Amino acid sequence: MTDALSPAPGARDPRVTEQRNPRTIAIDLAEPLGIVDLMLADDRLVPEAVATQREPIARAIAQTERTFRAGGRLFYIGAGTSGRLGVLDASECPPTFGSDPRMVQGIIAGGDHALRNAVEGAEDRASDGAAAVDAAELDARDFLVGIAASGTTPYVRDAIIRARARGAVTAIVACSPPPAATLAHVDIPILPIVGPEVVTGSTRLKAGTATKLVLNMITTGAMIRIGKTYGNLMVDVRATNVKLVDRSERIVMEVTGVDRDAARALLEASGGSVKTALVMQLLGADRATAESRLEAAGGVVRRAVPGASPPPVVA
């Protein structure tokens, strides 16, 4: 006979993300400050879980760099929160790094409508995941990262299987160990196990935070590796608004020591490219020469201008 206070046989879900958190059983009795404290205490576990995955994350960065340099694309694919996080990370790359929007793409089960609305059953339609991969025409140059907090999302599983069949390299970001049958098709498993959520099954919480941290590292790391920064300065930024125009001018001023008028003139002469403007000034070269040096250096300013380095940070 089952104790009335114990879970019924089979009631406990084996997925970590679906289990109950013993630390928050009485959270519904807490005052607002108590809720904040409980959530903060649990959120502190997230960076530690992500840190256990530092080596596979580094492998994902290296693979993304290889993908970009070969002319391939990085795809994120997921459902619900996982899909939205992938689309978010992909959409932030062009304004941050001046990257071609095709380089990093996010695919979400249910399509763009699912970004703002719950699309019932979208994550369960496994064949849709495979169809999305086919529609994107993935091939051996591409890298697909499946995102599935529970590790069991059918849509993501079949997308990974199809991507691997088409020759793409595959990875999965999950906060509960995926089944062996899924891992058999994964080249790089990234598994930050953050434990049960504050609210059972609400993977937009710790699992979502862990996923965001991982995706931040993959794209930021890869973009750094292909020369999108000079030190920690965003030198491939696209000046699409007043703030970014000002940032572009300030970067040129800080690195080269010129005044704002000269920085503005350099940027105009470079075609609006901060990176090209820097190399022009540091080498005393024209635009064509600077662009040629950058191309030969794989887009990396430090290689295009040997011995150069950004100025130190003034406290």
42 contacts 198 by C-beta, under 8 angstroms: yes
| Residue from 31, 48, 65, 92 carrying the catalytic annotation | 92
| Residue from 18, 31, 48, 123 carrying the catalytic annotation | 123
CA contacts within 13 A on the Cβ side of 177: 5
- What is the phi-psi region of residue 70: left when phi exceeds 0, alpha when psi lies from -120 to 50, beta otherwise? alpha
Report the C-alpha gap between 131 and 129 in whole angstroms: 5
Token digits for 207? 């699992």
Token digits for 29? 């009795």
Report the C-alpha gap between 141 and 24 in whole angstroms: 45
Token digits for 156? 């993501």
Q: Measuring CA to CA, how many Å separate 242 from each of 94, 209, 238, 246, 248?
A: 17, 31, 11, 6, 10
Secondary structure of 107-164 as H, E, C letters: EECCCHHHHCCCCCCHHHCHHHHHHHHHHHCCCCCCEEEEECCCCCCHHHHHHHHHHH
- Decide if 123 is catalytic: yes
- Decide if 92 is catalytic: yes
Report the C-alpha gap between 177 and 4 in whole angstroms: 30
159 contacts 143 by C-beta, under 8 angstroms: no
CA contacts within 13 A on the Cβ side of 245: 7
Report the C-alpha gap between 20 and 209 in whole angstroms: 18
Catalytic residue IDs: 92, 123
